[in-house]
Amino acid sequence: MSYEKVDQLSVTQIGEVTSLNKFSDNLEIIRSLSHGYHEIFLVNNKTLNQDCVIKIFPQQVPNQPSENFLKELRVKDLNSPNVIKILDYEIQTEIIINNQPVISSYILMEYAPYKDLLNLISKEGSDIDDVFIRTLFHEIVKGIEYLHSEGIYHLDIKLENILIGENFQLKIADFDNCYKMSDGRISFRGTECSRAIEIARGKCQDPSAADIYSMGVILFALKTGGTFPHTEGKNIGKINLYNLLENKPEEFWIVHSLLLKKSSEYFDNDFKNLFMSMVEKNPQKRATIADIKNSAWFKKEIYSKDEMIQIMKKKLLRDL
């Protein structure tokens, strides 16, 4: 695909309404998707009649693209159904923000219209069937396996960074903290509760193992309807789930069953074994992608692509 380059963009904020207008006819802004350090907008490419997302990265140093932009740009040539696709980018362009010109970079990427995994499972609670969970998890594993095969390590895998695309496929997104082995020391500290222990402690030496840990957190959240396995150093009442997970796993499962008001059989042994192998404290002993794919829980029944489309339609379109 080829996209007409944007020479100048204008971002105007009026109260809570934000609009972006570019001085050409190719991209039409539909609405703002996110405010903060990166402005993100839903746009329509008029030439292709296709909705896309544009993410803007202001340059803090003149003529120097931001580190986050350069990291996210690493996936521009990747091609996987489970990784968000970059359609176009501009290293340097002028954007008008609140009537002030700001030199920025931007990335144009495919639009995932059905939000993210957090939105999906928060609607479902802890009553999602295991076949559905497993089918979603297969897609996540495929996406991460592909990234690792290309030498890319996400390091911020969480529910909000797994989007749901046009055909209801899961899409791993937000690579502005991703890592390559040539980067040297890992300084990124990840997202609290989703990150690996060694990431939180600033001692990560194996980014692949760190991604596996975060995948384990997502697996647990899928099973429990959005409940995290622990809250790191914070107690729930007088209970420290982080400590139980590391030192008293049997109590860990009992407490979570009680918190979810489920029977002790809610977490079956195959699920427990897979999860515990993915969040093993020692990264060198942690499960690999191959171990995950060979686990008893992972190899059980999954839904077909057509079955998943029908299920996702019912779950995601029922409130529209």
* Euclidean distance between the first and the last CA atom of the chain, given in angstroms as a whole number: 31
d(CA 52, CA 84): 11
Q: CB within 8 A of 312, min separation 6: which ones?
A: 114, 164, 168
Alpha-carbon Rg for the chain, nearest whole angstrom, is 21
> Which is catalytic among the residues 88, 116, 156, 174?
156
Q: What is the DSSP letter of 235?
A: -
Alpha helices for the chain (secondary structure H): 67-72, 117-124, 130-149, 197-200, 207-224, 241-247, 249-259, 269-278, 289-293, 305-317
d(CA 272, CA 252): 11
Burial class (CB in 10 A: 0-12, 13-18, 19+), 196: buried
How many other C-beta atoms are found inside a 10 Å radius of the C-beta of residue 145? 17
Beta-strand pair 86-97/8-14: parallel
Kindly state the tokens that stand for 151.
Answer: 């030498």
Question: Which CA distances in Å does 180 have to 175, 255, 278?
Answer: 11, 38, 21
CA atoms within 13 A on the CB side of 299: 9
Angle at 221 between CA 245 and CA 302, to 5 degrees: 115
Q: Are 204 and 186 in contact (CB under 8 A)?
A: yes
Identify whether 156 is a catalytic site residue: yes
* Active site residues per annotation: 156
